[in-house]
Structure 1
Amino acid sequence: MRRQRQLKERFEHLEDTLRIAHRMFDGDERPYDGTHHRLERPLNNPSPVRRPPIMIGGGGERKTLRMVAQYADACNLFETRDPAGLEHKLSVLKRHCDDVGRPYEEITRTTFGMIGPYDVGPAVERFGRLSEQGVDLALVDLPDPRDDEAYAFLAEVVRQVAPLGRPLPVPAASAAVG
């Protein structure tokens, strides 16, 4: 029970933070009175040159994906071996977008997964499948970031997979890279 209470409170803090961020990015300096946070004047000075993109990671269907639909520019889902699992998460996100009146296509959809073994054919197939499912960007974890073979492998995979993808909107692309 305590863990559920802690998790609930963490989500409340996150939602307060996202609301505050949106207000500050929009120049709204009216007082904010949230569940856990209160600000007399949410001030963002100096203002950013452009609104920083927000990416929310996780696949919780009731809270996390709802927050993505409401507040985020991008989501990051864990890649699973079961393509139906990812398709389900994306359909839940689409439903939340419909519920809040937001175009699903506005959200950059990313995944996170491990890379290996360094076999180009299966990797191209894997990332091609992700693209077909509606994933815009696949983030990967390298077993050893100092491994030159890993970078050569990824360069070849990207060369073959890049034509399958869609262009990313600039703010979301910078979020994924930064």
Structure 2
Amino acid sequence: MKTLLGFLIFASMVTVVFSVPFVDLSTRKLIESPFIEQLKAGSEDGSKVLVFFGYVGCGDICPTTMSILRKLMQVDKSDIAYPQVIFIDIDRHSNTQRASEYAQQFDESFIGYFPENEELNLIKMDFGLNVRLEGEVINHVGKVYLLQREESKWWLTKAYSQNNFDVDDLFDDLSIH
């Protein structure tokens, strides 16, 4: 009986640990990374930004996520405040032009941003990013972050995981109630 109970507890813990990266997290964290001030970005009403961290050479997570963000911009609804989308290139061998070109191939309104090493380290701490280089591949989680401006401060209010991320989720969170 103890063995069965121990196994059930262990299985439950493993399930929780492995499911956390796939859950959308609502939060409220002040974001003070330098890029947010430099971009002066915002949605149509200046209050919302969607931030995605990726890299130009990514073959799966990045183009899929950017395509979902493009679909959001194509939704023709009057009760949604369209956010500014910011693609932040985490590849140390990239540059601002490549980041901008990549972002704008999905939608002309998207902003591509390339932080220098020191700024990227600050951004990683601010967003809790875990980025690792494994050969030619940059291992990254692929979350999209919703930032909302209140007065002059930007707050991280939600992080969407790549496995539970779709236009309907975004639309619900961005709808004007």
Please identify the structure whose Cα radius of gyration is greater: 1
**Structure (1 or 2) with the greater strand fraction:** 2
**Structure (1 or 2) with the greater helix fraction:** 1
Higher RCO by CA contacts (8 Å cutoff, separation 6 or greater): 2
Normalising by structure 1, what TM-score?
0.33
